[in-house]
Amino acid sequence: MDEEMMDYNPDIYTLIDEEGNEQAFELLDVLETEEGERYFALIPYFESPEDSLDDDGDMVILKSQMVDGEEMMASIDDDDEYERIGNLFLERLSDMFEEQEGEE
């Protein structure tokens, strides 16, 4: 195993949904648009790899919002914005995986 993989420590965030339930997510990518908006792509995080087998693997996209001078992650209410940003993340992730395959 190469050193890069051994040093990998995912960025884990515990988010609270609208019903007060906590869930851990792993940060996949951060995107900043030309307009200065920041977005986060996350997937559910599980301590045990076996637990992740039951998950549907859906990516969650959240938007940065400043609340009392602190950056918070918030849901995107506009469907067009969510789809546009989601497609940007999918393109970026696809490009990253293609680059990794080319290096092997």
**pLDDT per position as a tens digit, 33-76:** 999 999 999 998 988 777 777 777 788 999 999 999 999 999 99
The overall average pLDDT reported for the chain is 85
Separation of alpha carbons 86 and 72, rounded Å = 19
Domain residue extents for the chain: 11-103
Pairing of β 60-67 and β 22-32? unpaired
Residue-level pLDDT at 82: 95
pLDDT band at 1 (very low <50, low <70, confident <90, very high): very low
pLDDT band at 103 (very low <50, low <70, confident <90, very high): low
> SS3 letters for the chain?
CCHHHHCCCCCEEEEECCCCCEEEEEEEEEEECCCCCEEEEEEECCCCHHHHCCCCCCCEEEEEEEECCEEEEECCCCHHHHHHHHHHHHHHHHHHHHHHHHHC
pLDDT band at 101 (very low <50, low <70, confident <90, very high): low
pTM score: 0.77
The pLDDT of 20-26, averaged and rounded, is 91
**Residues 69-83: b if buried by 16+ CB within 10 A, e if exposed:** eeeebeebeeeeebe
Residue-level pLDDT at 27: 94
